[in-house]
Amino acid sequence: MIRSIYIDREDSKESEEEERNLFIKSVLEEVGVPLEDVWPDILLTVDKKIKLRDLLNKLEIEIIEDGDRGYEIYHQNNMLAKWFKPRFLLREDKKAKTLNKRFYYEMVVNTWSIFNQEEK
Q: Is 3 helix (H, G, I), strand (E, B) or coil?
A: strand
Does residue 4 contact residue 108 with C-beta atoms inside 8 Å? yes
- Written as one letter, the residue type at 97 is K
Give domain limits for the chain: 2-119
pLDDT digits (tens), the chain, 120 positions? 999 999 998 899 999 999 999 999 999 999 999 999 899 888 888 999 999 999 999 999 999 999 999 999 999 999 999 999 999 999 999 998 887 789 999 999 999 999 886 443
Q: What string of H, E and C letters represents the secondary structure of 83-99?
A: ECCCEEEEEECCCCCCH
User: What is this structure's pTM?
Assistant: 0.88
- Written as one letter, the residue type at 93 is D
